[in-house]
Amino acid sequence: MKVFLIAGARPNFMKIAPIYRESRKHDVDCKIVHTGQHYDYEMSQAFFDDLEIPEPDHFLDAGSGSHAVQTARIMTAFEKVCEKDRPDLVMVVGDVNSTLACSIVAKKLWIDVAHVEAGLRSHDMKMPEEINRMVTDSISDLFFVTEQSGVDNLLKEGKPRDRIHFVGHVMIDNLFYQVNRLEQGMKVQPAVQELKQKYGEYGFMTLHRPSNVDSRENLMTIFEALEEISRELPLIFPMHPRTKKMIERHGLELPENVVALDPLGFRDALYLWKDAVVVLTDSGGLQEETTALGVPCITIRENTERPITVELGTNILAGCSRKGILDAYGAQRSCRTEGRIPPKWDGRASERIWQTILK
Ligand code: UD1
């Protein structure tokens, strides 16, 4: 059986790593397709190295562009690959443009599609990821789900129950694997080690959603909150290229105690955030990873497609206003949220995925 495993953007790489590793235990020909949606060393190759993913079998070199341009480039290139090296199954992960583009191409060539991290819904159609999730799920054949809300959403949308598999979360498989690697003495960059020693107590922050960074006004409001927080807690901030570009374009300056860095590889970032006092983020994955390790998290968004992190985990959904962010910070500082680990987030999701496919 030949399976294409699709990855294109940074959050995909963490998800394909454990799926690929697990595939080696079975009689499957699992090939990695990298669409090239992310291409900078820090956004792509650094992750392949850290996560121990082999070189991709196919590289589509799509690069950046508007949504239509990027999606179209991936589709055109992926169609050629499928025609030359036809797989039995295309496995897509998450909700980025690469996920959408490759599932449409596969389906139109009558190739089955499995969606890993299916069923999540923010109900916010202004998020490109929500559109990607909904379209991908509307044509997928197999749904691998990370939390109960995903099962409920898919059933509500009329998907057959026997196609929906609540397997847990491959992102958490990767996280536990990498925490072990750190404990076994795997090295991080000396500069990152020095940073941790220098600050001791610090917050860790990521910010890259278009809704937060593309508008000057929204970004300024967030910076006002960060200014106050960072007066008592320095914030370490590896910066996404989109955010860096927007800060320059808007002519804004980061608050004084926000320590900006270039994007970090997976292990360097984990090394920092796992011991942070609090994580502030608008990423999807970090909401889940902080819940899995019990690190307090503040999500700078109005909604989340990952409600389990709020219901069971350590996440507070702060919204994007100055007051919302400061209130959430106050709450996390005065009474650290004691979270629980969600069901099936036990590091064995990839194992369940292959068992299901091979059955
Ligand atoms: C994409 C995903 C988002 C995910 C994020 C993680 C979609 C719709 N969005 O958003 O869900 O959370 O990745 O990073 O798929 N750029 C570089 N170098 C790179 C990649 C991008 O400089 O290697 C810059 C380019 O200027 C580009 C911009 O970042 O225009 C945005 O990249 P893009 O892939 O379009 O979206 P992300 O914001 O990264």
pLDDT digits (tens, 9 = 90+) for 94-148: 999 999 999 999 999 999 999 999 999 999 999 999 999 999 999 999 999 999 9
Answer whether 2-169+345-358 and 188-334 agree in fold. yes
CATH superfamily, region 2-169+345-358 = Glycogen Phosphorylase B; (3.40.50.2000)
Atom of ligand 1 nearest to the CA of 11: 6
Domain ranges of the chain: 2-169+345-358, 188-334
| Torsion sign over Cα 145, 211, 204, 296 | negative
Q: How many Cβ atoms sit within 10 Å of the Cβ of residue 238?
A: 22
Task: Compute, in angstroms, the gap from residue 85 CA to the centroid of ligand 1.
Answer: 28
Q: Which pLDDT tens digit goes with each residue over 28-44?
A: 999 999 999 999 999 99
- Which ligand 1 atom minimizes the distance to the CA of 132? 8
Write down the pLDDT at residue 64.
97
Substitution site in 67, 207, 242 for ligand 1 pocket (most atoms within 8 Å of beta carbon): 242
Task: Identify the pLDDT of residue 86.
Answer: 98
Q: What percent of the chain has pLDDT over 70?
A: 100
**Which whole number is the average pLDDT over 237-257?**
97
Expressed in angstroms and rounded, the spacing between residue 242 Cα and the centre of ligand 1 is 7
- Cα-to-centroid distance, 1 and ligand 1 (Å): 32
> What interhelical angle do 349-358 and 170-183 show, nearest 10?
130
Residue having the nearest C-alpha atom to atom 20 of ligand 1: 38
Convert the pLDDT of each residue in 195-205 to its tens digit: 999 999 999 99
Residues lining ligand 1, Cβ inside 6 A: 9-11, 37-40, 43, 64, 70, 96-97, 128-129, 208, 240-242, 245
In this structure, the residue with its CA closest to atom 3 of ligand 1 is 96
Q: Residue 190 pLDDT > 90, yes or no?
A: yes
CB neighbour class for 358 (10 Å; exposed up to 12, middle 13-18, buried from 19):
exposed
CATH: 3.30.465.10, 3.90.550.10, 3.40.50.970, 3.40.50.2000. Which one for 188-334?
3.40.50.2000
Give the pLDDT mean for 67-84.
98
- Active site annotation includes 123: no
Ligand 1 centroid, distance to 197 Cα (angstroms): 31
Confidence of residue 320 (pLDDT cuts 50, 70, 90): very high
Cβ distance 23 to 3 under 8 Å? yes
* pLDDT tens column, 178-187: 999 999 999 9
In this structure, which residue's CA is closest to atom 19 in ligand 1?
38
Residue 335 is predicted with a pLDDT of: 83
